[in-house]
Every structure is written in C-alpha cells, then in structure tokens.
Chain A
Amino acid sequence: MAASSDIREKLRMKRRALQDTLVKNKNEDDIQALVPSAKFNVDNQPTAMKEAEGSDEDPGESLRRTLRAQREKRKTKLLEQPFVQDEDVGEVSPTQYNSPNEGPSSRVDDSVVSTRPPTGSQRGVSVKSEQPSSSLHLDTFVTRHLQEKLRAARSKGESLQQQETSKDSSEPVSRLQRLKDRDTITRFDREADPVSSGRHDDPLTLRSRVKFQEQARRVEKDFPTTEEAYNFFTFNYEPDQPSKPESKSKMRQKQRDGVEEDDRDENGQEEAEVEEEDEAEEDNQDQNEFQSEEAPLVRNEDNLFVIDHLPQDFVEVRKAEYVGFKKRVQRDCELLFTPSFRAVPTSVKLPENTMPRFLEDEGLYVGQRPAVSLTNKNISENRILKMAEGSKWFGDDGKILALPDPIKESSTRPPLFHMDEELDPALQTVYRKAMKSQYANLYIAGATDPEGDYQLDVDVSGLIFSHHPLFSREHVLASRLAQLYDQYLSRQQNNLTGHLTEKLNGLRKALRNMMRIHGEQGSSEALQHRISEYSLEVRNTRQLRDLEQEKDRTLLRSIIKVWKEIKSLREFQKYTNTPFKLFLRRENVDRALDEWEYEGEILKEVLELEAESEEQYQKKLAEYNKQLEDWKLWRKKQKAKQKKKKKKSQTQDDTEEEQEEEEEQDQTESEDQFEEDPVKPEVPERPDIDSLERWVREKASRIRRKPGEAILVPELCTSGGVTASDLCPRAEVARREDVSRRSLFIKILYNYKEVSRTDSCSLSTDFRVHFGQIFNLKVLNCPQSINLQVFEEIGSSYSLLAQVFVPVPDPSVVTGRAPIEEIEFSSNQHVMFDHEGVGSDVPLSFESDGSNKLTLLTSGKLSCCVSWGIGEEGVPLAPPLSQHPGGTHRGLGHLDAVSYIGASGLYDMKKIGEWAVQSRLDPNDPKNTSIMHLLKVASSGEVTAPDYFRLEHLQEEFNFVSDEEMESSKRFRLLRLRNQEAPEFRNYKFVPLLEREVSDKVFQDYEKRLKDGETIDTRQHLNPHRAVVAKYLQQIRESVINRFILTKHHYQLSDLVIEEEIPSIGILGINLFKLAESKRPLKPQRIERKKVTAQNLSDGDIKLLINVIRAHNIPIRKPQSSKPGQSSQSAVQGSDWYLSQVQVRPFVEVSFQRTVLQTTTADGPNPSWNEELQLPFNAPNGDYSTGSLQSVKDEVFINIFDEVLYETGPDDKSRATSIHTQIEKHWLGSVKIPFSTIYSQSKIDGAFKVNTPAVLLGYSREHGNTSVYDQWRSTQGGTFVRLFITVEPQLVPGESVREKIKEAEFNSQEDERLLQASEKFEKHAAGGYPDRPCITTVIDLSGKTIFITRYIRPLNPPQEFLDAFPNNPQEATSLVARYVSLIPSLPDQVSFSATCDLLSTCDQFLTLLAGDEQEHAVLLCNYFLFLGKKAWLIIGTAIPEGPTAYVLTHEQSGYFIWNPSSGQFYEKGDTFCPLQTVGCLVNSDNVWFNIQENPSPLHTNFDITKVKMWKPFFSRSFSHPGLSSVQVNVKPYLYTSIFSFSLECPCIPKMF
C-alpha cells in the first residue's frame, strides 16, 4: 500500500502544480465538446504533444486526462439525453455561453491549440474529486462521481440542446463509426492483444490506464463530428440503466470504469510496474504498426498513471461551499478514526465467553513486559481492535501479545574510539585527587595497629510504639492508659506525697517546739528569725504537698476515666483489641481514725493559714499606714502648690519661683513613687477566718481522699483476652491483617554510614517489636554520631519511620554496666487508612459529637544501649578521653560550650544537668555562664536559638595571629603599611620572609616622618612663619595625595578599556573626503603626531626639541668709544665701520639637564636663526610614568649672548703673520621655561619676552633706524625671542584628576543644580571651542568644589600701597601688581605631582605665600576691584604657562591685560601680549564664555554685554542664586609679613 500511496501522492502533486493553467483556461472548457468536429487535424497532433510537453508536463498524461474528461462528458451527455428536454438547465448555463465567446475565437482554427487547454481544465476539475478516490470507500466515491457527472451533464446538455433534436436519427451511425475507429486505435496503441474486439470483450484484462490511452488516441486522431460527439455524450453509462439501447462497448466501457477503479485501489502498487511493461509493448507496436507521428506520443507515455477521478464538471461558478462545522465533524467522523485512549474492557479483547487466563497464576513463567505507558497501550489496543482480525493480537490474558523486554542487559555497542582528541570536554576524564575523608583526621590514635581496636556495642533490644498508624481507637486509649499507669507507678515509687507529708509534720513539730520555747523564754532576735523561717518552710512544704496530692488525685481520676472509656468503647464495638484490664483494689480504712486525721490536718492548716494571714494583714496595715502618711504629706504639698499657682497666675513673671516649684514637684514625685496619683490608700481588710476554713476544706475535698473513703489502688494487667479475628467486623480484620503484614527493622548508622541492620521483625498486635540484637562495631574512626533508623517494611517496600540519634557513650560506659535506655522517637508522617487503624497525623476524636479532636503522630520508644566493648582481660575497648573530637579540634571547641568547659562527651542534656548538679557548678562563675545558659535552655524543654547575634562569627578562628602578634611583628607591620600605601612603602619590594630579616632601619624614615608631623623644624627655614607654611603645605600635599590615591582606585570605563569614539557623521564625511584628496598636497597640513604613553619609554627615548626662530629688539652694543678701558687700536680705527656693521652678534644658548647647546651666531638686533636644537631628556630615576614626568622640576634655560670678537695679539711683531681672536660671550638676557609646562602643553610656540637686566652695561636698547619694526618696538622696550619647543615623541600629558575628583564626589556645598549647570556649561564650551579653557568651578584646598565667582571679591591691599601714592592711582595699581607678582609661584602639578587645580582663597594664598597663576590672578583682580577698577579674571591660555589666568581691567584708555605673575600689563592691542586665547571672563557676578571667532586678545571684543560675543553663565533662564564669597572681608596685614618678603626680595624695599 505504501507504494501506491506514494504514487498517488505524486499524482496529486502534479495536479496541483497544474492548477494555474486550469484556472486560466477554464472558459475554454467545452471547446472540445463543441468545436472539435469542425476543426480536426490529425497531422497536427505531434506538435500538440510537443507543445504540451514543453509547457509543463508529459503530454501523455495530459492527453489521457483530456480524453478521460471527454469521455466523462460524453457519458454524462448520454446519461442526460432522455430527460434533457424537460430539465431546467438555465441555472448552470451562463459560463457555457461565455466560454465560446472568448476562448475559441483565437484558437478555433488551430485544433492543436484548442485541444490542449481542456486538458488543464479537466485536470483541475479532477483535482477536486481526487480526494475521495484515495479513500477506501469506493462505493461512495463512485456514486458521488456519478452524481456530479449528472449535474455537469445537465449544464452541458443545454448547450447541445438545439442540435439534439435534429441529429437524433443519425446518431447510431456515427457512433458505430466511431466505435470502429476506436477499435483500430486501441489495437495498435495498446497491449499485445492483437484482437481489438477481444480486448473489449474482456475488460478485466485491460488496464484502466490503457483504456484512457486508447480514448485519448481516439479523440485526438479522429475528432468526432458533432453528431458523434452528441452520441458520445448522450450515452448512458449508468449501471442501473442497462436497458438503454447503447452499444455493448459503451457498456463495457462503463464496466471497465468500475473495474479500473477497483483495480486501482486494490493493486495500486502493481500498477506502476505493469504500466511500464505495457507501455514498453505499446512502444514497440507503435513503431511497427503506426504512423511515425504517433511515436512521440506513445513514447511520452512512459510514466503515465492511471487516474480514476472523474471531473466534477467543466464549468460551474458558484459560491464557495460552506460546510457546517457539525457536518464537517460528521464527515470527519466518517473518514477519520481516532482511537480512544480509554482502557478496553477485557471482554472485548477476548473471544466470546472466555475468561482471561493468567499464565502467571498457573505457575508458568511469563517474561517481563516492556514498559509502555498506559495511554499508549490503550490507544494501540483500540486501534488493533478496529482492524480485521484484531483480536488475534491479544493473548489469553487480554493483553497485547508482547515479547519480553527487548532491552539487552549489557551493551553490545562497541566502545567509542575517538580518533580526534576533540572529545567533548564533558566526556573527558578529569583527574581528581583522592579526597580525604571527612573523618580521616579523626583516627583514634593507635588504631592503626590491630590490637588497638576499639569496639562499640550497640544493643538494640526492642521497640514499643506509643502510637502507630495502625492503632485502633482502643489501642490509642490503651496506650494512654498504660502511660498513665506507668506514671502512676513511678509516682507511687517515689511517693513524694508521703515524703512531703512527713516532712511537713516534722517541720510543724519543730515549729511547735520553737513556739513553745519562744513563749517560755521570750523572743530573741535569732529565734524570731528562725520561727519565721520555719513557718515559711512549712508553708512551702504544705503547698508542695498539696500540689503533689492534687497530681496524685488527678492521675488516679484520669486513669479511671480512660479505663471507663476503654470499657465503653469495647462495649460499643463489641470486641476487644487489647489485653489491658484495670483492677481497682480497695483498701478499707478505719473511718473514725481517718476522719480524725483529716479534721486535724484541716485544723492545722487553717491555723497556719490564719497565722499567715494575720501576719500578712499586719504587714499590709503597716504598709497602709506608711502610705497614708505619704499621701497626707502629698496632699499638703498639693494644696500648697495650688496656692502658689494661684499666686503665680497673678504675678506671671517669676520664673525662678516656677523653677523652684518644679524642683519641688520633682522631689515629691521621687518621694512617693508608688503614690503617683493622689488616691487615698484603702484600709486593708481583715482576713476572714471563716472563709479561710471554707477554702481549706474545699481544697482538701478536691485534692484529698474523703475521710473514710477506701483507698483505690489501680492495677493494670494484661490478662484480658483479645477477641478473635473471626468475631470482629471486617474493618477491624483488615486492620489486623495490615498489622500482621508489617515488620520493622533498624539500620545502624555509624558516622552516617550504614554499618548493619537488624533482622526484620514483624509487628505484633500489641505494637511491640523485640529485636534483642547486639552489634559489635570495630571502630577506627572517632565516633561522631550513632544513628538508629527505624524502618517499617510492608511487603517488599520499606520506609523510614524515624531516626534515633544515640549519644556516643563516655569511655567509662562499658558493656554490661550500661543500662538499657529508652529513647523516644516520633515521625510526622501522614498516614490514613480506610479500616479501623486511626492513622497518623489525622485528627481523631473520642467524643460522640466529634469535638475535642486530637492529632496523634507516630511515636514510640526504642530501647537500646550503646556502650564500649570489653576486651578479653576486661579492659574496656574505649578510646582514651583525650582523643575525642573536642580535644583534637581546639578551634572548634570554642563553639561548643560544653566541650569548652571540659565536659566532653556529655551531649545529653539530662546528663549535663546531672553533672552540673553533681559537680556543684557555681552558677555565678563567669566561666560557667555558657553552660548555665545551656542548662536553662535545656531545662525549659525547648532548644531555642541564642537571642544574641554574633557579628563576626568564627572571626577569632580565622585570625591566624592575634592582634598583639600582628602589632609586634615587624614583617606584618611592613606588609600592612605597604597595603595602606604609606608613601615610604608604597612600592616596597620584597618584604622579607622572616621576621628577623626585617631590619629596624626600614621604619626609620617612616617613624621620623611621623615624628616630624608633630614638631616643626624651624632651622630649615628662614623664619618660623616659613616653617609653619611649609608644614601646612606639606599637610595639604599629603591630603591631596591621599585623595588622589583614593580616586586612583575609582575607575572609569575609559581607564580600563580603549574604545574608539563614535565618529560623528561629519568626521565620517571628512574621512571620505580625505580619500579623494591628493597624496602630496601643495600646502601640506600638519599631521598630529602619535602620542606615546609614558610607561614604555626609557632613557634617551625622549628629546626636547627647541627651535630658535628669531629674536627681536636685542640690545645693541654701545659705541666702543664709551668704553675707554677696552679701546684698542683696531677698534678705534674701525669704529665707524663697526658701528654701522655690527651692532650685536647674538646667539642663543639652551641648557637643559646638564646639556648645553647653542645656535650659530647671527648678526644684528633682530637676528633670525631658525635652528633646531635637540636636547635629551632623562626622567628622574628613569621613571617615565606620567606622575613622575609631571613632577619634573627641571627648567629649560634659554640665554641670549652677544658674541664679541677681539683681536688680540701677543705683540705687534707677530700680528703680521698671525691673528689672535678672543671670543667673549656677553650675556644679554634669558628665558626660562619649566619642563612641566612643555610636558603639559606638548608644544609651545610663541614669542617670549627675554628677561634682561634693568641695566645692561655696554649695551643700549636704542639702535639705528634700520629696523622695520621700529615703530612699535620703541613702545615695547623689551627683547623677544620666538621659540618653538616640543617634546619628541609627543607624550600623553597626565590626565587631569579634576574630573575624577568630581566623580569621587568630594563633598561640595554648592547647589546640585548649579553644579549640573556648570558641568553642562563647561561641556558645551569644550564642545564648541575645544581650545578655549572654560572654568566655572574650582576645587579649594579642602577638596570641595566651589563656584569660581565666589573667589572674586574686593580685597584691600596693604595700606602702604594706597598711602604711597595718594595722588596717583596709576602708580598704586602698578605697585599692587608688582606686589602680587612677587609672591612666589608654585605650579600645582609640581607640588602635587598630578595635574589638578586647587584654588586657595586670597587669605590662604597670602598665608601660604605660594600659589599658581590663578591664585595670583584672583588676588590681583580682588585688589583691583578694591581700588575701584572694573576688573575681570581672564581664563585663557598664555605663553608659556599654557592654561592660565590673567586679569582684565577696563580704564578710560581702554582694556588692559595684566599678567599677575610678572606684574606687567599689556594693552589690548599689544602683539607681544603673552595671552594667546581668551577663554572666559569671570567676575563676582557671572562667568562669560568667549564665543567670538578669534580668541586672541587682539581681536577680542571685551564688551561682555554683547550676547553674541560672550555667553553668560547666569542668564535670565538661570539667574544668579546670590552666591556668597569665600574670601575674607578685610585682610589685615602685618608689617612683618611684608618684611618677610623684603628679606627674600630685595626689590621691595626699593619700592618703598
């Protein structure tokens, strides 16, 4: 069947593929029917075939389809014929009328084309009918098809209606003719059967496919005339109309149809093969007998398939048919079979009237069935049952026949050999070291030798359940009774009541005696005391006795009650389950004596009570009196107070009095604390003697036997019989059976490993199990735990019922001497039964109304005994005590309070309690607090977690040395200091391994520094102030450094990961543009040098490049004549020439780090050297880290010299032959540039003003008018040298720590909003104008972020400056500037070895007497403001400082830029102004950022009101929040402080 289904599947696919063509050609459906007779061209046939072939499919098949469709049509026509006339055809007609209109118009002439389209269309139709054909239901299929045909024929019939009538007569002829034709065709065209008629006669031999072929051929060969067609169509194929006058052949054809279909479905598989054969034959025949044109057709029929589908119709347009869900389901039900997954009843699976037979029960071996899930089994059973002979699949037992489990026990698959080592890592074998056992270290000493074995005897004697799920209700009661009886017996044994009664009597006697003595001898203090003690004792004892008596009484009562319950239960259930019987033995007593005793007892008690109550009353009375007194006092005060209050309300002002009063009140309150509310104490009542007696009697009757009543002694015996099982109801029988099925055994686990187990003993009806087994354990490891696990076994399965942990015995506990202990156990299993067993963890009630429920859990007692064995000579085989785990692990011992105090092995709380009592532990001894706590917890019955929380649990155990050792060890100290990054040890290498190798010298520096911290060494400094300042600076430095260390550990992503910035679109565009630009542009652009991270450098790698370009305005030599001392003949002679020719011959000498280089000598006051000098750079200590490079304090000195040549001769004689020239270097001026500036800026390019001495002997600034620059040079009056300095390779300047400090959030007092705004402002500025510095916030000395405007505030300069030139403010201004410039400059990065901007206030600055440009600028600006100038701080870049701060003043004559470090000022338009860019302006109100095109001061408009040029920080949207200044109001100046300057700077005194 599989093959056939395959074939069908293929067919279906092909059909579907053709569907498109069908749809397209739908309108041409009936061309064939109507047209063929007119156009009939046999010759064209091959082409038609080819075309079909080319189009999409093998033409044979399509042809076949066509033909079959035609045949079908004909059939329907025939069928239709008799009743066509009276049928209403209109409904289906429209399409048919349509079709001839468009379809044939083009194709009618060409039959080749016209024949083809229908193939598609018919096939399309056939697709519809294909589905049913594949199903098994042939009958329905056929009938449906016929019906469809019928319907189709009706429509068809209509189109033919006109012809019908006229052609009726000629029909038979044409038909016959056609049949004849067909005969011939089929003969040549088909199987080897040579006789065409024979073939027709014997339809069974024909393959249905063949029939189609034949038809196809026929139709193609000789297209019928219209009559023929009509005849053909009107033939009736219907089997139920055999009486029709049609020819036999038609009939046969019809029959064949049926046969074909049957054939197809039954021998579908064979079809293909048979076809092949047939076709082969056909081929042969074709070639032999027929025209050549047929050949391709036949050949192409190679893979023809039989198609039995009848086309539903040719043309029919209708709505999509909706099939209702129900209907569909119904149809599905017909078609589909869903096996139910419900279990199939055995009766169905077995033959009628047979009972399932179980071979297993008959003692035959039945193999294990493979495991199949129940659902699957049911489904397959259901399915099999549906099949024919389904029942043969079932065995006698009603199960599907199955072989035993097919899974082999051992694998037969060959082991995997991996050629490659690429074994899955999960499969790779991993070597693991053998793990030491947890107890490996706990071996008992001496255990290695076999003699030293230790033996632990575990005696498991038995088990008694106090509750078991299988208990019946009676059992529950009986066990309760037994418990109570046990209790009773133990009480009886102890006889506490008796003891106490005797004690009481004795005490009373003693008391009486004492009273007597007391009465006789009068009271002595001691006696009084003793009497009271005794009476107290009597009272206590009496109370105890009463308690005990009550307990006895209630116990007896409850025993009787339970027994009564049992009795009633037995009566109720009419059988007995337990053998318990309670007898109550009466012991009669002498009633009179008893009564007398009873009364006497009561009397005594009453008397005592009276005495007691009297005493109490007295006490109370005394108390009352006292209270009353207090109360009265309080009352008085209250009144007085009220009076005062009144008074006070009148005066209302005397506070003192009030206070006094309050004090008083306090006093009173403290006096009578118990009398806080003013309630008058009540007089205590006199105790009522009568009520006392009544109370005593009541109590006595409650707790004591009535006088004369017989003493009841309960006796419990098990003599009662248990009702036999036969007499019990079924539920009870079931319970008993259940009980008998169960058995118990006990596993013995030693150190969590099972070492043995007892035999399984069945549970007896009284729920006792007796094992009576002793296990001798040879012990090697220290015992950690001995665990007995109680297992209950039902059948073959067993379950853990409970675990019993047995304490490890003391070594002194040896076999024979150890008593058997009963250890209680219980389990919280939930068990429920449907029989009489009460279950476990199930609520149970003995009341009729179901109230008073109690839930019982399985519980019981295990009697066992663990002890150390005894050797042959009676030597206990116990390990010595010291070997106990508590001893071996001292560290852990701390945890165990018990073992800590030395009582090792006493794990049992009870025993500890006993031990504590025996050893008379002092509870007040602090050493014993832990055990006392433990005992208290234990005695309270519940083990609770300690109510304290230990913060560093086990910390002590982790400390590998104590703190003292840590402190004293030099090595540890060294390690710790290094870890703390103390400066001396920050990178200390090789801390010695051994303590003794750490030399004391290591700490010398450190300790010295620590010591120095406190003392100030004044000797090193000029004066104490200096020393203090230096100290202060040092402290700041340290704190800053510490802060840096802190921030260093605060990482950002950029610190760890180098990542490309996201290129903006602009950059991308530029990059793209770059690709197109010329390789060697005419105007080359400067390419950024690659920056080098400093770490990888070593000595000699770094060079300092200094390009000395030119100099301006170098002083020229004065005429020689003015120097008479130097006059020489030649000089005098050539004086005129000399002056005109050589005014000066300057050269530049650069010195840096011991390297001195010089340029060539140039001529004139404005020389141009344009020479590059390379100076090697060596970092201090070869450390090229950023930090160390930053702290390089070396400076580059650039000196300008004049080279003077003198011709000297030793004498005149030799002058003719030799010339002696003497070269002199005359220093003209110098420039010094710190390396840190070069490093931080990476390159410096600009004109530097040369520091020249005020007076340069022999030189003058005035020179000839030859220079072009004379105009403005004269105004300048300075010498300039133009330099370009850089470091090769370019070093990455140290990253500013400022960001990090901000990151690290050193507390700022500024508003968060302000900080955010400033950050945004700065970011925006940096984004728009990266080269313009913009500072809005600065960090002060304490590390706080402060808004910069807070620093700007008018500050008074020293009064002397103001007084010096009262009339000339200009002079004062320059004085002030000079003053500021004289304060020593100290770049931050040098002092802090990191780039950071700390801005001190002016006060701090003046105290420290050192600061960078910013501080100078701020001070200067503040002074200017005080002088009434308009002044701003300029944040910008300058040469050579780099980013710096200048001061801008606005005067009538214009803007002036002040360099605070030099005190010089420049006009705005000065080209030699060192300020290069103006970043922003700051005053006390606002910060303006320069957004002008050219930032150089020359081109900058300083009008800050212009919004287009200056972007203010505080604008309308974010107004100035009124920031207060951080500066002091008035700075007081001491003259000494000025004087201290004067010492250092001798220039100052000159000023004054």
Chain B
Amino acid sequence: MEKTSNSSVFLLTVNGQIEGANFPDYDNLYCKYCYVYGHDWAPTTVSTVEKHCITQITSKSSQSHKLIWNFPLETTFKSTNPSGWPQLVVSVYGPDVFGNDVVRGYGATHIPFTPGQHIRTIPMFVPEPTWRLQKFTGWLLGRRPEYTDPKVVAHGEGREVTRVRSQGFVTVSFHIMTKDMKRMGYDTGPTNSSTVQFATSSQSRDAQ
C-alpha cells in the first residue's frame, strides 16, 4: 500500500457474516449493524461502515427456531493505535403484535483481535421502561424504549442510568486478517500452528 510508505498504519480486515439469531419469542426480524471505533481508526471501505446497514427480514422455518440472515460483512480498518478497537454493534428489530416495528435487542462485540475464524454469540438486550405503566403503554402503542443511538451499547459511559432486559442471541462469524500488526509491535497471540488449527476446526465445523 502506498499509504504505509508515508505513515505507518496497520490494517485489520474483517470478513464474515451475521449468521443468524436466536430469539425464542420473536419472528420476522431484521438486523441493523454498524461499527464503532476510536479516533485512530478509519474504515477503508466507507460505504458499508459509515452508515447503518440493514439486513433482510427473516422468519423462522418450521423446523428450526433459528433466524438466519447470513448477511455478509466486509470491511477493512486502518489504524495507528489499538485503543478504540472496532466494535460491531448489532441491533435487531421486528414487528410486535400490532405490527409496529420495535427493537428486539441491542448488542455489541469487539472484532476479534487474533487472525483466524471466530464465532461470536452476542447476547442481546433492550432497555427496560422506567415504569410498569410505561411498559404497558409502550406495548400498546408499539413504542418501546430505545437507545438514542445504538452505538451507546459499545460504550460504557452513561450506561449506569439504564436498565435492560435480556432478549436473545445473535451469532456472528468473523474471519480476521491483520497486516503489519506484529511489525508495529502488537502481537495478538496465536502462532502459525494455531491458525492452522483454527482453520481445521472451522473446516470440520463446516463439514458438519
């Protein structure tokens, strides 16, 4: 890359997919996702990262209770500082009993540090209404409490004022590649042998 010549950066490529979710009580859900990263990070593919991306709506099949999106993710980040490591923020929405679109869960996970394949199961949660009455009216009017910004879940600040309820899980698989991390002095762990192991394990998983 030319960019590396004038200033040193390391790159983090994220491939993968939002595989699916497990929301026992809900159906017909879609998922929004975005990345949250620190000042020293920049996505090289702006289009998919800058804005919120929305997946298709999926519903459960008769056999499985799992919601499958298989929505691909592909981004490359450029960074100079591991602080503010990118996080994937996922929020799931779906219609409620009255057909209003309500939020079904927020969740966030750091993009894995180590190269290789990773599967992350993100536990999802939604903010709770302050009052029980509000819970009822919210249910009735289809206006549940929502975060002002889904990115809130990627930060710790200010969360102490909220109460949340657990909802379900979203499974995301990542394939991580890094470039120049080690050269810049950031050793994120596994040696070559373990990456091979990762690969084999993923293959065996796929075979299943």
Contacts and interface: CB of A to CB of B under 8 A. Distances in A.
**Does chain A bind chain B?**
yes
Interface of A: 420-422, 431, 433-434, 975, 978, 987-994, 997, 1049, 1051-1053, 1055-1060, 1062-1063
Most central of A420, A988, A994, A1059 by chain B CB within 10 Å: A1059
Contacts, number: 94
5 tightest CB-CB pairs across the interface, nearest first?
A: A1051-B158, A993-B80, A1059-B145, A1060-B143, A1057-B127
A321 to B, nearest CB: 54
B147 A421 contact: no
Contacts of A431: 197-198, 201
Given A421-B208, A1058-B148, A993 B10 contact: yes
Contact of B42 (A990, A994, A1053): A990
A814 to B, nearest CB: 38
A988 B161 contact: no
Contacts of B63: 420
A987 B39 contact: yes
Interface in B143-195: 143, 145-148, 152, 157-162, 184, 190, 194
Contacts of B152: 1056
Contact of A1057 (B8, B9, B148): B148
A1195 B6 CA distance: 43
B39 A991 contact: yes
B207 interface: no
Contacts of A422: 64-66
A990 B80 contact: yes
Contacts of B10: 993
B56 interface: no
A988 B208 CA distance: 48
Nearest to A979: B83
Given A433-B190, A990-B80, A991-B39, A1056 B64 contact: no
A422 B61 CA distance: 13
Interface residues of B, number: 42
B148 A1056 contact: yes
Contacts of A434: 194
B81 interface: yes
Contact of A992 (B8, B146, B190): B8
A1063 B63 CA distance: 42
A916 to B, nearest CB: 42
B129 interface: yes
Contact of B194 (A433, A991, A997): A433
Interface stretch (B28-36, B86-94, B131-139): B131-139
A1060 B138 contact: yes
B150 to A, nearest CB: 11
Given A1053-B130, A1062-B131, 12 more contacts: A422-B66, A433-B190, A990-B39, A993-B9, A993-B10, A1051-B158, A1051-B160, A1056-B148, A1057-B145, A1057-B147, A1057-B162, A1062-B137
B60 to A, nearest CB: 12
Contacts of A987: 39
B74 interface: no
A993 B81 contact: yes
Contacts of A1059: 127, 129-130, 134, 138, 145-146
Nearest to B65: A422
A434 B201 CA distance: 13
Interface string B33-46: 00000011010000
Chain B interface helix/strand/loop/mixed:
loop
A975 B159 CA distance: 25
Contacts of B134: 1059-1060, 1062
Given A421-B208, A1056-B161, A1063 B137 contact: yes
B145 to A, nearest CB: 4
B62 interface: no
B1 interface: no
A1509 B34 CA distance: 55
A1062 B157 contact: no
Nearest to A1061: B134
A969 to B, nearest CB: 13
A191 to B, nearest CB: 59
B7 interface: yes
Contacts of A993: 7-10, 80-81, 184
Contacts of B39: 978, 987-991
12 contacts: A422-B65, A975-B81, A987-B39, A988-B39, A990-B42, A990-B80, A993-B7, A1051-B161, A1056-B148, A1059-B134, A1060-B134, A1062-B131
B9 A1055 contact: no
A566 to B, nearest CB: 69
B40 A1060 contact: no
Nearest to A1058: B146
A993 B7 CA distance: 8
Contacts of B157: 1049, 1051
B64 A420 contact: yes
A1049 B190 CA distance: 38
Contact of A1055 (B127, B148, B208): B148
B8 A997 contact: yes
B147 A1056 contact: yes
A991 B137 CA distance: 48
A1296 to B, nearest CB: 17
A1060 B137 CA distance: 8
A975 B198 CA distance: 35
Given A1059-B145, A1060-B138, A992 B158 contact: no
A428 to B, nearest CB: 10
Nearest to A421: B208
Contacts of B40: 989-991
Contacts of B64: 420-422
A991 B130 contact: no
B106 to A, nearest CB: 11
A1060 B143 CA distance: 7
Contacts of A1056: 127, 147-148, 152, 158-159, 161-162
A1046 to B, nearest CB: 13
A1093 to B, nearest CB: 9
Contacts of B42: 989-990
A975 B38 CA distance: 12
A420 B138 CA distance: 37
A421 to B, nearest CB: 7
Contacts of B145: 1057-1060
A1488 B161 CA distance: 36
Given A1058-B146, A1059-B129, A1053 B9 contact: no
A835 B36 CA distance: 76
A1067 to B, nearest CB: 11
Contacts of B9: 993
Contacts of B130: 1053, 1059
B205 to A, nearest CB: 9
Interface string B66-93: 1000000000000011010000000000
A1056 B133 CA distance: 20
Contact of B80 (A978, A991, A1049): A991
Contacts of B137: 1060, 1062-1063
Contacts of A1060: 134, 137-138, 141, 143, 145
A992 B152 CA distance: 27
Contacts of B161: 1051-1053, 1055-1056
A973 B89 CA distance: 31
A1299 B168 CA distance: 37
A362 B157 CA distance: 79
A960 to B, nearest CB: 11
Interface in B3-35: 7-10
Given A433-B190, A991-B81, A997 B7 contact: yes
A994 B184 CA distance: 8
B18 to A, nearest CB: 17
A1132 B7 CA distance: 78
A1062 B134 CA distance: 6
A963 to B, nearest CB: 19
Most central of B42, B148, B160 by chain A CB within 10 Å: B148
A978 B197 CA distance: 40
